Each structure stands twice: as structure tokens, then as C-alpha cells.
Amino acid sequence: MSPCVLPLERRHLRMHAPVADSFDDK
């Protein structure tokens, strides 16, 4: 995988992480 793709995926995970936590809390 390209090094540029890794950071992008990490950003998506970070954004999804907080969202998933909120749904789990509700």
C-alpha cells in the first residue's frame, strides 16, 4: 500500500472512532 493511503485510512478511522463511540453510548 502507498504511504499516502495509510495516513488517509488512519484519518477515516479516527473520525469513525468517535462516531462509533457515540452510537455505542446511546
Give pLDDT tens digits for 1-26: 566 666 666 665 666 556 555 555 54
Cell of 21: 463511540
Q: How far is CA 21 from CA 4, 9, 12, in A?
A: 27, 18, 14
Domain count, the chain: 1
Angstrom distance (rounded) from CA 25 to CA 20: 9
**What pLDDT was estimated at residue 6?**
63
**What pLDDT was estimated at residue 18?**
60
Domain that holds residue 4: 1-26
- Find where cell 484519518 sits: 11
H helices present in the chain, as ranges: 5-25
**What pLDDT was estimated at residue 10?**
67
**What pLDDT was estimated at residue 17?**
57
